[in-house]
Structure 1
């Protein structure tokens, strides 16, 4: 890491190179709805009024959960449209209806849970941006600051395409200490479709929130299929199997594979606090360029992309043995050195290595990458992206501090430790 830092400290701060200094800023007041970029502030205020109007008789001893809907496959419904050619056709669009969704889970859940929902977005998650996460974070903070009811936690209904990365950004924004758990879930098939996983995922997410509440825990996780996955280690692993998500570096936060068994959480799920960390909420576009080593990738194109003014860091995704096209690596190294920006490497195959010996074999070629300025980060690409966006703003573009934070600080558990690293088999997807 000394080579990386010495290389970077001789350069200007990235802040000197960014014309719009707001690109390196956080939201000053995370509870101020005036800071919303996309969502409807009036709708959020009305939702809080409705929550505050809930009577003890209505709660009737049930667990109160606040759901924030963003759309996704779980909420998809068919709509008939007329195309430009005059022909009618059916398309799928998210159409949130919390009462309808709740009714499509187990009937007994209504006796145990009271779920109040805010339809914040109706979005195909492939269209999710940092600005959407920015707004959802503000909404969550505003709700917490203004409700007069004790809640068990927040349920985030989300599409699967970007759930891993969006929840990772949310976890980074919320910081180390949370007042209430945030549990993401969704589905591989619309909840109204026969044999959809939507109902069971929604049920298990509610029980995950209840388990956290009972244990006085608060973390950001994904509850999906057979497992509860930490947002700081989550990856989407399958496009149709019920076990869409897993965490190749981290042990699961909880197991959902046994029917009838309550959710047991691992002991390192973070504890709930009364005074949460001040959230570091950001939006805008990514400052980090992800470069994949692909056969016959144009080195010149890679160089030109890195040299674009919007790029302030590079992550190089390698092949399974930790290798990458040498021409691509050489030009990428030249570009990051010229700009004075950091380079990181991620080996997706090594993330799932079963043993230290296997991981060591896969990492042998990474010495050359490090010599050229690319240091391997032991985290998923999803959380690396989120951590970099936090770091580049937190340290106002000071690259030496950014590099030290990326490699030397285990901010919310994103770097696996001897206790948290994955030892159990990955969830079945076949």
Structure 2
């Protein structure tokens, strides 16, 4: 008889962990050690479930790199004891958090599934139960004694995505996330169907997990808009200790061609600031140099973000800025896939 997989539930905070106090009508944090009592259906899953919660539940709006490290520490300390991990966070910043965790863990061979909900777990019409139950089922799924998933994913409303490909697109719909440039890894309907050709397969099963905890957060997102003042761009690019910029451009990577704008970017790059070009569009890719409006960006050394999301670009900058590498190596690393976050072709 095979052993049941051991799954660790990590609750950091967020709507999914809230229940209503019917005396006061206020929402309060739920005790996840009592999870089976609240969701008895979990007993039907073929796995053992344990849970760890942050000492104080954290609204995802207050998340920062220190809490990313807390999550990674819990995974590292429990990595050998558990076969899979389900991480519950607030959905507002889930794409940022899960993207960062994907870069912090190298040689991952076990599933890490992020999920949450739009309504609290105690709400009558909640989406929390389905999201949680299926996330645990996915984390526990194995084939020939090996986990079906061996990467950082995000599950929401019947779809499993590669986490660093996701963006939150709705504050109201249960289908809160999209992955415009990479298809779902699995879909939950009558059957739980995995798209196995899309799932990352670890090449070397013997390499040990490497955990990278040093993140550089001296970065900024600069979103262009028609009429943006030169003084605004200048002030942002002259923030003390600034090391990286995610430049959200128009369409396929286009930006103003005015000499003043290009000079500001060029001066920043010459000071050692890394500038990455990503599109403001929900889907599609930067094709730097395709139009005249992005030729200069190529010339001055702006990094082509291709089809990476803003969330993953932020996470990747945080990760790579800590490495002591040349400008050429930095550009090469950013423009190639490290965790499946970018289409390298």
TM-score (norm 1): 0.70
Matched, 1:399 2:337: no
Q: Which residue number in structure 2 is paired with residue 36 of structure 1?
A: none
Does structure 1 conserve the Cα–Cα contact (< 8 Å) formed by 2:17 and 2:121?
Answer: yes
Q: Secondary structure at the match of 2:9?
A: strand
Q: CA deviation at 1:324?
A: 3.2
Does structure 2 conserve the Cα–Cα contact (< 8 Å) formed by 1:211 and 1:265?
Answer: no
Q: Quote the RMSD (CA, aligned, Å).
A: 3.0
235, 242, 264: which one aligns with 1:304:
235
Q: Which residue number in structure 2 is paired with residue 266 of structure 1?
A: 196
Q: CA deviation at 1:100?
A: 4.6
Does structure 2 conserve the Cα–Cα contact (< 8 Å) formed by 1:316 and 1:345?
Answer: yes
Q: CA deviation at 1:326?
A: 4.7
Separation (CA, whole Å) in 1 of partners of 2:243 and 2:68? 21
53, 58, 75: which one aligns with 1:123:
58
* Greater RCO (CA < 8 Å, at least 6 residues apart): 1
Does structure 2 conserve the Cα–Cα contact (< 8 Å) formed by 1:131 and 1:282?
Answer: no
Does structure 1 conserve the Cα–Cα contact (< 8 Å) formed by 2:20 and 2:26?
Answer: yes
Separation (CA, whole Å) in 2 of partners of 1:75 and 1:201? 12
Change beyond 3 A, Cα 1:326–1:269: same
Separation (CA, whole Å) in 2 of partners of 1:274 and 1:302? 48
Change beyond 3 A, Cα 1:78–1:104: closer
Q: Which residue number in structure 1 is paired with residue 41 of structure 2?
A: 107
> Could you list the runs of 5+ residues in structure 2 that have no partner in the other structure?
none
Q: Which residue number in structure 2 is paired with residue 414 of structure 1?
A: 341
Separation (CA, whole Å) in 1 of partners of 2:287 and 2:89? 36
Q: CA deviation at 1:166?
A: 0.7
Separation (CA, whole Å) in 1 of partners of 2:85 and 2:42? 20
Matched, 1:369 2:297: yes
Deviates more, 1:127-136 or 1:365-374: 365-374
Change beyond 3 A, Cα 1:170–1:212: farther
Higher helix content, 1 or 2 = 1
Higher strand content, 1 or 2 = 2
Does structure 1 conserve the Cα–Cα contact (< 8 Å) formed by 2:9 and 2:85?
Answer: yes
Change beyond 3 A, Cα 1:274–1:363: same
Does structure 2 conserve the Cα–Cα contact (< 8 Å) formed by 1:188 and 1:240?
Answer: yes
Post-superposition Cα deviations, 1:55-92, rounded to whole Å, max 9, x if no partner, equal x9xxx954421111101111124579xxxxxxxx9764
Post-superposition Cα deviations, 1:164-220, rounded to whole Å, max 9, x if no partner, equal 111111110102x11321111100111111211100000110121122566534111
Q: CA deviation at 1:366?
A: 2.5
- Is the radius of gyration larger for structure 1 or structure 2? 1
Separation (CA, whole Å) in 1 of partners of 2:40 and 2:263? 56
| 1:260-409 equivalences in 2 (<5 Å) | 260-271=190-201, 273-283=205-215, 286-320=217-251, 322-326=253-257, 329-330=261-262, 332-349=264-281, 352-353=283-284, 364=291, 365-378=293-306, 379-394=308-323, 396=324, 398-407=326-335, 409=336
Matched, 1:235 2:163: no
Q: Secondary structure at the match of 1:388?
A: helix
Q: CA deviation at 1:318?
A: 1.4
Matched, 1:73 2:7: no
Q: CA deviation at 1:320?
A: 3.1
Q: CA deviation at 1:415?
A: 1.7
| 1:141-156 equivalences in 2 (<5 Å) | 141-145=76-80, 147=81, 151-156=82-87
Change beyond 3 A, Cα 1:254–1:330: same
Matched, 1:203 2:133: yes
Separation (CA, whole Å) in 1 of partners of 2:296 and 2:289? 13
| 1:1-16 equivalences in 2 (<5 Å) | none
Q: CA deviation at 1:321?
A: 5.4
Q: Secondary structure at the match of 1:209?
A: helix
Separation (CA, whole Å) in 2 of partners of 1:320 and 1:362? 12
Q: Which residue number in structure 2 is paired with residue 187 of structure 1?
A: 117
Q: Which residue number in structure 2 is paired with residue 41 of structure 1?
A: none
Change beyond 3 A, Cα 1:279–1:339: same
Q: CA deviation at 1:295?
A: 3.9
